[in-house]
Chain A
Amino acid sequence: KAGVTQTPRYLIKTRGQQVTLSCSPISGHRSVSWYQQTPGQGLQFLFEYFSETQRNKGNFPGRFSGRQFSNSRSEMNVSTLELGDSALYLCASSLQGHEETQYFGPGTRLLVL
Chain B
Amino acid sequence: GIQVEQSPPDLILQEGANSTLRCNFSDSVNNLQWFHQNPWGQLINLFYIPSGTKQNGRLSATTVATERYSLLYISSSQTTDSGVYFCAVFYTGGFKTIFGAGTRLFVKA
Contacts and interface: CB of A to CB of B under 8 A. Distances in A.
Question: DSSP majority for the B interface?
Answer: strand
A100 B99 contact: no
B12 interface: no
Nearest to A54: B95
A99 B41 contact: no
Interface size class of A (residues with CB under 8 A): 20 to 34
Nearest to A31: B95
User: Among B41, B42, B86, B98, which residue has the most Cβ atoms of chain A within 10 A?
Assistant: B41
Interface in B83-109: 86, 88, 90, 92, 94-102
Contacts, number: 59
Contacts of B95: 31, 33, 48, 50, 55-56, 99
Given A42-B101, A101-B48, A109 B41 contact: yes
A90 B43 contact: yes
A104 B41 CA distance: 10
Interface of A: 31, 33, 35, 37, 42-43, 45, 48, 50, 55-56, 58, 88, 90, 92, 99-104, 106-107, 109
B63 interface: no
Interface of B: 31, 33, 35, 40-45, 48, 86, 88, 90, 92, 94-102
18 contacts: A33-B95, A33-B96, A33-B97, A35-B97, A43-B86, A43-B88, A45-B98, A48-B94, A48-B95, A92-B43, A99-B95, A100-B31, A100-B48, A101-B33, A102-B90, A104-B45, A106-B41, A109-B41
